[in-house]
Amino acid sequence: MSMVLLDKEVFWPPADELLEAAERIRRRLGEWPAGSKAWRICLSEPDHPRSGDLIVGNVEPLPDGVGRLTVGAGRATLHLDDVEYELEGEWSDDWPAALAAFLDCGFEPHDALVLALAWRPANLDELDAWPVDFSTFPRVANLPAAPSKPFPHCPDRLGLYPVLPSAEWVERVLDQGVETAQLRRKTTDSGDLKREIERSVAAGAKHQARLFINDHWQEAIKAGAYGVHLGQEDVDTADLNAIAEAGLRLGLSTHGYYEILKALHFKPSYLALGAVFPTTTKVMPTAPQGLPRLARYVRLLDGIVPLVAIGGVNGAVLRQVLSTGVGSAAVVRAVTEAPELAAAISALQHEFGR
């Protein structure tokens, strides 16, 4: 593998020992697509900070595109673009070198920081030099308490998971033997929403299927849905205690390591990992994850929580997605735009061994 670190200004001021350590780590991480931005770790404040600098220490104010990183006493905080990422735990003295290596692998700074804090020098002695021991990973700090009543469990492998726009689609898909589905109803009409959710929940009950409602947790509780699916932004506004007390399952969206750690704090029934591929069904907050990252997430989280791959998944790539070991894959257009629904579902189910 070519050593791309040698062609970049990785540390400021130059730090030969740190650069050598970063290169050792980076060499063992394998080939990864380069990130869209070259980051520089500044061990002291430069005279002229530039976009892409991560300055270690207390720096105010921060110019656009410049991050502040404070680490010490079991807590690490990254402040970047008016967002603060706080982590707590224990880590190796090698974290700056590991941070440089994971930034070079194309991870955004908050995800690269998670990996750097999980990194241990002993990883270099393993066949796989990535952090794979979940006990070494930091925790997201300053989160509200998880619900006192745990969310009910889901099967470890949820299988084919169509995300559908209407109750009619839910009925059609469940009639074909699909056991897990989600209603993602985009409407501001409260009457329409109530009818669509109640009709979808009834279809789920008829088929003894796992029917999740996207976003609208109050209506899902009232209708007695199997579960709800929420995005990261919804965790701050939804009443998770009410969802848990009602006995509904909870699925949470994630888009990288930091969001995975945040979501796990609330002990959800499953995690959605995405977007794996580019998707046009919704605006995504991050670039596509790709199969290599999906495989890493699956290896780290196997046995901890059920996982669903989501984003751009269709029949052409489903076999590759499932080869990562993920137990479920969400699809949208592979079902809703299929020329022949029964044949499309049969082909997709075949990839799951059904």
pLDDT at 349: 98
pLDDT tens-digit map of 161-185: 999 999 999 999 999 999 999 999 9
Question: What confidence category does residue 2 fall into, taking pLDDT thresholds of 50, 70 and 90?
Answer: very low
pLDDT band at 227 (very low <50, low <70, confident <90, very high): very high
Residues 52-95: tens digit of each pLDDT: 999 999 888 888 999 999 999 999 999 999 999 999 999 999 99
DSSP, res 149: S
pLDDT in tens, 285-321: 678 999 999 999 999 999 999 999 999 999 999 999 9
The Cα–Cα gap between 202 and 318 comes to 29
How far apart (Å, rounded) are the C-alpha atoms in residues 317 and 325? Answer: 14
- For the entire predicted model, the pTM comes to 0.96
Domains of the chain: 4-140 (no CATH), 159-351 (3.20.20.70)
**What mean pLDDT do residues 222-235 have?**
96
Tokens for 180, please give them.
């897990």
Distance CA 236, CA 52 (A): 29
Instruction: Give the pLDDT confidence score for residue 1 in this predicted structure.
Output: 43
CB atoms within 10 A of CB 197: 24
**DSSP string covering 226-253, please?**
SEEEE-GGGGGTS-HHHHHHTT-EEEEE
One-letter amino acid at 350 equals H
Q: Could you read off the pLDDT of 31-64 as tens digits, one per residue?
A: 998 788 899 999 999 999 999 999 999 888 888 9
Question: Do the beta carbons of residue 98 and residue 246 sit within 8 Å?
Answer: no
Q: Please give the average per-residue pLDDT across 184-195, as a whole number.
A: 95
Q: Provide the edge-to-edge strand list for the sheet that holds 75-80.
A: 11-12, 40-42, 53-56, 67-72, 75-80, 83-88, 139-140
State the pairing for strand pair 307-309/227-230.
unpaired
